[in-house]
């Protein structure tokens, strides 16, 4: 049996194309070397002229002419310092302080795919032939795709029990400082009241502006807001049915839904329209919601850079008019400048202290969209990721998975509240901090360092643009231990002259030695006081050639990871 063209292979092919600056046919041939041609045909869908379009002028790659045509009638970048070039954007852009201070954000996958709640948020691709198992499951539960199409889930995406204010309050209790509304996924359905895309949450399903209502609630709660977009993949996302397939008689070819599915017409003209509308939708959400961040999952093909440059320059100039610090966050090299790096899942997060800021988008359960039967992990695991990232100059963006009715499963809420409880005690060691001269000490930090040496030697690390899973002996992405922690594992952050040393495991013998603060180490000043956040009283300590030795109290102030506050040093 031949292996299906999976999510991982699809993304790998897209990433290869973008990093190399390849156009579609080139990355199609690159991927074809590893995958069966008949299955790869269902990815770009440009080889089946009879089924793909009435036009012989079939889209095969984004030429400069097509990209220029897509920008016709799109407003210019507008007044302001950001001109339409990556150099200008890079010279004028500054990472927002609110992002550097906030450390912990929440975003979500919530849409039509939340209705079947099966497989993953890629359901629309899978049900139309991208995954036989899911196609069979769909047929069993709803009928064949020729009778029950993806659009038929729309009335079932109700958000009937949704309370955006309750969501915002939950996110605030969780300790999040920024929240991204779920703008649009690969399925082409906009969760806002769009005048550009008629297939939106105001016209169908919930019949309300989901993004607008959530952004308003989040702002009312005092949090920063953003909006996510995955839609640039949509044009080629759903497989083209092969000749003779029953799917040629499905709603993929219903004229009313042609622009929704983007399968029936993949001509150059359709591609230009798609790219034009993609830019127009970005402008629409920028002007409608004034978001603090735009977040993108869109690959790294630089043939479309003029589109991204227009969006970035317009957004950053508009933000100057608003008097706001804003940013764009995206995966890989999608935006050449003016971008905060995002890594898909914690597994790709840096394992060392970086000189750039970043965040992984990491799901609370294995899939990003809500899937029945999949559950979140223990709360302590997410707290570990926050700590490991922050000490290395990163943030943590946690994805939640709401149900179609607008409720967040209780077990996900419990995780969020547990994170908030920990941050309520230890937030001082997280928020508004900056990395120290080293991210940590102990066996896990040593394993991270050794792993990075091996990764670099093997040529498996691309620095800031790295898209590989990070792994080594006992450690994974973000430097998260796969074997657990000991009291010798300590992570550092700093704020002014205050150093925070977060002990990853409670010491059974009530004593911890911070070896990085041993006498003779190149640290200015002298330790004057050591406190344990949440304890209330200063702790006893001594300092010698073996380290700063701290006596812990008998009772824990929280459930995991214990933050020492050390003052008296001269760090600035």
Q: Hey, what are 310's tokens? A: 């227009």
Q: Hey, what are 102's tokens? A: 């906030």
**Stretch 388-402: mean pLDDT, rounded?**
98
* CA 62 – CA 23 distance, rounded (Å): 7
The predicted structure's pLDDT at residue 56: 42
Give the tens place of pLDDT for each residue, 264-283. 999 999 999 999 999 999 99
Give the tens place of pLDDT for each residue, 183-231. 999 999 999 999 999 999 999 999 999 999 999 999 999 999 999 999 9
Give the tens place of pLDDT for each residue, 28-73. 222 222 222 222 222 223 333 333 333 447 888 999 999 999 999 9
Cβ–Cβ < 8 Å for 284, 196 = yes
Nearest to 151 by CA among 129, 131, 123, 132: 123
The predicted structure's pLDDT at residue 1: 36
* CA 23 – CA 44 distance, rounded (Å): 12
* SS3 at position 128: helix
Give the tens place of pLDDT for each residue, 164-192. 999 999 999 999 999 999 999 999 999 99
Other CB atoms within 10 Å distance of the CB of residue 351: 26
**Stretch 511-534: mean pLDDT, rounded?**
96
Nearest to 103 by CA among 495, 444, 513: 495
- For residue 130, the 8-state DSSP code is I
CA dihedral (84, 85, 91, 96) in degrees, to 10, reads: 60
**Stretch 314-323: mean pLDDT, rounded?**
98
The predicted structure's pLDDT at residue 113: 98
The predicted structure's pLDDT at residue 58: 85
The predicted structure's pLDDT at residue 299: 87
SS3 content of the chain, % helix, strand, coil (to 5): 40, 15, 45
Other CB atoms within 10 Å distance of the CB of residue 256: 8
Q: How confident is the model at residue 469 (pLDDT cuts 50, 70, 90)?
A: confident
**Stretch 521-532: mean pLDDT, rounded?**
96
Q: How confident is the model at residue 459 (pLDDT cuts 50, 70, 90)?
A: confident
**Stretch 420-428: mean pLDDT, rounded?**
98
Lowest mean pLDDT among 242-251, 394-403, 468-477, 501-510: 468-477
Q: Hey, what are 153's tokens? A: 């889930």
The predicted structure's pLDDT at residue 52: 34
Nearest to 237 by CA among 192, 274, 191, 284: 274
Rounded to the nearest angstrom, the gap between the alpha carbon of residue 77 and the centroid of all alpha carbons in its chain is: 26
The predicted structure's pLDDT at residue 467: 81
Nearest to 172 by CA among 96, 100, 97, 106: 106
Q: Is pLDDT above 50 for 17?
A: no
The predicted structure's pLDDT at residue 470: 87
pTM of the full structure:
0.91
Total residues belonging to the chain: 572
Give the tens place of pLDDT for each residue, 326-353. 999 999 889 999 999 999 999 999 999 9
* CA 457 – CA 477 distance, rounded (Å): 18
**Stretch 535-548: mean pLDDT, rounded?**
96
Phi, psi of 320 (to 5 degrees): -60, -40
The predicted structure's pLDDT at residue 51: 37
Q: Which residue has the higher pLDDT, 53 or 442?
A: 442
The predicted structure's pLDDT at residue 471: 85
Cβ–Cβ < 8 Å for 183, 228 = yes
Q: Which residue has the higher pLDDT, 40 or 6?
A: 6
The predicted structure's pLDDT at residue 235: 97
Q: What is the mean pLDDT of the chain?
A: 90
* One-letter-per-residue 3-state SS of 80-117: CCCCCCHHHHHHHCCCCHHHHHHCEEEEECCCHHHCCC
């Amino acid at each position: 049996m031949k292996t299906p063209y999976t999510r991982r292979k699809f993304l790998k092919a897209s990433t290869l194309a973008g990093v190399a600056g390849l156009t579609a046919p080139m990355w199609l041939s690159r991927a074809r070397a590893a995958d069966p041609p008949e299955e790869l045909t269902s990815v770009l869908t440009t080889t089946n002229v009879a089924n793909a379009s009435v036009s012989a002028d079939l889209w095969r790659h984004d030429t400069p002419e097509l990209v220029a045509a897509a920008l016709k009638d799109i407003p210019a970048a507008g007044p302001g310092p950001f001109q339409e070039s990556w150099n200008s954007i890079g010279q004028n852009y500054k990472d927002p302080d609110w992002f550097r201070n906030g450390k912990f954000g929440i975003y979500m996958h919530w849409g039509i795919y939340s209705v079947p709640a099966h497989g993953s948020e890629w359901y629309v691709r899978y049900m139309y032939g991208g995954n036989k198992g899911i196609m069979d499951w769909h047929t069993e539960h709803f009928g064949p795709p020729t009778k029950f199409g993806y659009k038929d889930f729309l009335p079932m995406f109700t958000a009937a029990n949704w309370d955006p204010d309750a969501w915002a309050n939950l996110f605030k209790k969780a300790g999040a400082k920024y929240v991204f509304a779920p703008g649009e996924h690969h399925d082409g359905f906009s969760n806002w009241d769009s005048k550009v895309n008629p297939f939106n949450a105001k016209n169908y399903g919930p019949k309300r502006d989901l993004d607008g209502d959530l952004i308003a609630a989040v702002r009312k709660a005092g949090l920063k807001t953003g909006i996510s977009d995955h839609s640039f993949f949509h044009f080629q996302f759903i497989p083209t049915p092969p000749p003779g397939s029953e799917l040629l008689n499905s709603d993929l070819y219903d004229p009313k839904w042609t622009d929704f599915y983007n399968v029936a017409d993949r001509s150059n003209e359709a591609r230009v329209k798609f790219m034009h509308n993609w830019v127009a939708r970005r402008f629409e959400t920028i002007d409608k919601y004034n978001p603090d961040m735009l977040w993108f999952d869109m690959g790294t093909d630089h043939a479309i850079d003029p589109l991204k440059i227009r969006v970035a320059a317009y957004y950053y100039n508009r933000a100057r008019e608003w008097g706001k610090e804003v940013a764009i966050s995206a995966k890989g090299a999608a935006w050449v400048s003016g971008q905060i790096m995002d890594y898909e899942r914690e597994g790709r997060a840096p394992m060392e202290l970086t000189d750039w800021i970043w965040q992984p988008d990491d799901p609370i359960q294995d899939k990003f969209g809500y899937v029945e039967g999949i559950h979140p992990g223990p709360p302590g695991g997410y707290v570990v990721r926050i700590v490991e990232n922050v000490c290395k100059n990163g943030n943590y963006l946690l994805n939640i998975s709401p149900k179609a009715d607008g409720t967040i499963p209780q077990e996900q809420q419990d995780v969020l509240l547990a994170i908030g409880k920990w941050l309520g005690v230890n937030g001082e060691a997280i928020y508004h901090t900056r990395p120290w001269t080293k991210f940590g000490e102990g066996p896990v930090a040593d394993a991270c360092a050794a792993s990075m040496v091996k990764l670099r030697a093997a040529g498996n690390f691309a620095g800031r643009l790295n898209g590989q899973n990070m792994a080594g002996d006992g450690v994974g992405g973000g430097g998260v231990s796969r074997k657990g922690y000991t009291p010798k594992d300590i992570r550092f952050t700093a704020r002014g002259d205050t150093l925070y040393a977060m002990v990853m495991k409670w010491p059974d013998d009530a004593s911890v030695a911070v070896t990085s603060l041993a006498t003779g180490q190149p640290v200015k000043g002298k330790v004057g006081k050591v406190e344990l956040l949440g304890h209330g009283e200063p702790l006893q300590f001594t300092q010698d050639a073996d380290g700063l030795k701290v006596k812990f109290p008998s009772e824990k102030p929280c459930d995991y990871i214990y933050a020492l506050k050390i003052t008296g040093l001269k760090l600035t």
